[in-house]
Amino acid sequence: MAHALASPSSADRWFNCPGSVLANADMPYETNLAAANGTLIHHMTEMLLKDRLRDMTLRDYWLDRKEVIEDFEIEIDEEMINCAEVYVDYILKREEELGARKVIEEKVYLNEISDKCYGTADCILLAENRICVIDLKSGKWAVDPVKNKQLMIYGLGALTRYGGGNPDITMELTIVQPKVSSPIKTFEISAPNLVHWGFNDLKPAIDACFEENPQFVAGDHCRFCAFKPNCDAYKKYYEEK
């Protein structure tokens, strides 16, 4: 799948630095071991959530198995299996509580706002007057769901596809991050407020990225920017800092 130019996972960066979107589009694709581990854990959860394991547990199938992801050979250990299980257990628990229908690895779009911003939501739960977007984070750097731009973009895409224009829907946006001290954290926002954010905050931020001369603004958001070694704004920021 081609990645969106205004990728939801990079929203914190391009909200702050519009110039980074097209600059990073020209950079060669790079990955790392942590990202490869995350990809593999997502594969494991998908097998469970889509009932692809028959008469065996996740440990039976995966423990000590070696997989090659993005040129990294990874041996599956207990920590990775635990990460997958915490995520899956939460989804199944919430699905039962709400009497919801789950949708796994769903591609969502924001065409009314921009065709340059779309992505794949890990899990969407559809219940009466409630849509849950549940995102798995496999790293140890704690991620906050409160007004989390990536989650709100996924939520807006899910609302666009499944909301049916119902203003009474509550959006439940959850980060499941098993490797941190508070592994499950949720932020709720009403459908009208999320739509308001989409048109009044998200759309101007995306439009700014595709102006003729988008602005480069350096800061903490540069952390994962591939273009920063070539960026004059970042070099100045780094020198001053």
Confidence at residue 54, expressed as pLDDT on a 0 to 100 scale: 80
101 to 127, 132, 212: CA distances (angstroms): 7, 10, 43
Q: How far apart are CA 134 and CA 136, in angstroms?
A: 7
Give the pTM.
0.94
Q: Quick one: the chain helix, strand, coil %, rounded to 5?
A: 45, 20, 35
Q: How far apart are CA 168 and CA 154, in angstroms?
A: 18
Q: Name the residue type at position 176.
A: V
Q: How far apart are CA 66 and CA 80, in angstroms?
A: 12
Question: Quick one: tokens of 17?
Answer: 């630095």
Question: Quick one: tokens of 39?
Answer: 């990809």
pLDDT in tens, the chain (241 residues): 467 999 999 999 999 999 999 999 988 877 889 999 999 999 999 999 988 888 888 999 999 999 999 889 999 999 999 999 999 999 999 999 999 999 999 999 999 999 999 999 999 999 999 999 999 999 999 999 999 999 999 999 999 999 999 999 999 999 999 999 999 999 999 999 999 999 999 999 999 999 999 999 999 999 989 999 999 999 999 998 7
Parse the chain into domains and list their residue ranges. 31-210
Confidence at residue 2, expressed as pLDDT on a 0 to 100 scale: 64
Q: Please, what is the Cα angle at 51 between 65 and 123, to 5 degrees?
A: 95
- CATH number assigned to the domain covering 31-210: 3.90.320
Question: Phi and psi at residue 46, in whole multiples of 5°?
Answer: -65, -35
11 to 67, 76, 98, 117, 190: CA distances (angstroms): 30, 31, 30, 10, 21
Q: How far apart are CA 78 and CA 82, in angstroms?
A: 6
Question: Phi and psi at residue 228, in whole multiples of 5°?
Answer: -60, -30
230 to 22, 28, 134, 137, 233: CA distances (angstroms): 13, 13, 35, 29, 9
What is the H or E stretch that residue 80 is in?
Answer: helix 78-98
E strands in the chain? 66-69, 72-75, 101-110, 114-127, 130-136, 170-176, 184-190
